[in-house]
Amino acid sequence: MQSHSYPSKLLENAVEEFAKLPGIGRRSALRLVLHLLRQPQPDVERFIAAIGDMLQNIKFCSICHNISDTDVCSICSSPSRDKATICVVESIKDVMSIENTMQYRGLYHVLGGVISPMEGIGPSDLNIDSLVDRIAKGEINEVIMALSATTEGDTTNFYIYKKIRNYPIIVTTLARGVAFGNELEYTDEITLGRALLNRVRFDNSFSVE
């Protein structure tokens, strides 16, 4: 007798599939599946259809690689965006985070990850060539590198910087500093050191408000 004796193979299969999702253990998976079983059939069908529909019809923007319902995404095709600025991010989630700040009106470029030898992700696995192509067209003034503040993020920053530094553009990165709401006492020393080094004039420090 196995430690989890499922009364049904069909149930077990569904639980196993849910348990493959990140952060969902077998116990949570069982809870989710039993929840679905208790819902009216049309509701579960809508759940399945939403995933299937997304899988079959979702597109990636041919310019910035963001998720899109159309060939060119709504940001790249918007007439009100600043088309001379590109913000380079790791993932679609980062685009959404930056959009939610409402502080950015330029375009994006989604790399699809960062260079990580540990995870076997090299530069050729990322959307770097298409970024260089966009810059090579000569209509870009500034490239903002907005990658994670990690070793992998820094490696990727340097790799891309070397590829694009000879174009007539400004390359910037996100400010590193003390996060909003963080107490100095609990801020790590690298962050604190950088925040000191990159200190800004007091009258500029409210420019994002």
Report in angstroms how near the CB of residue 136 gets to its own copies at its nearest: 25
Sign (positive or negative) of CA dihedral 136, 141, 147, 153: positive
Q: Where are the beta strands (DSSP E) in the chain?
A: 59-60, 67-68, 82-89, 106-110, 142-145, 170-173
Whose tokens are 């995933």? That residue is: 51
The answer to whether residue 53 forms part of the interface with its own copies (CB under 8 A) is yes
Strands 106-110 and 82-89: parallel
Binding mask 21-50 for its own copies (x = CB under 8 A): xxxx---x-xxxxxxxx---x-xxxxxx-x
Binding mask 84-103 for its own copies (x = CB under 8 A): -------xxx-xx--xx-x-
Using the rule CB under 8 A, give the single segment among 11-19, 139-147, 155-163, 188-196 that binds its own copies: 11-19
Coil vs helix vs strand at 90:
coil
Residues composing the chain: 209
Whose tokens are 């039993």? That residue is: 34
Binding residues for its own copies, total number by CB under 8 A: 59
The answer to whether residue 122 forms part of the interface with its own copies (CB under 8 A) is no
User: Where on the chain is the footprint of its own copies (CB under 8 A)?
Assistant: 1, 3-11, 13-14, 16-18, 20-24, 28, 30-37, 41, 43-48, 50-55, 57-58, 66-69, 73-75, 91-93, 95-96, 99-100, 102
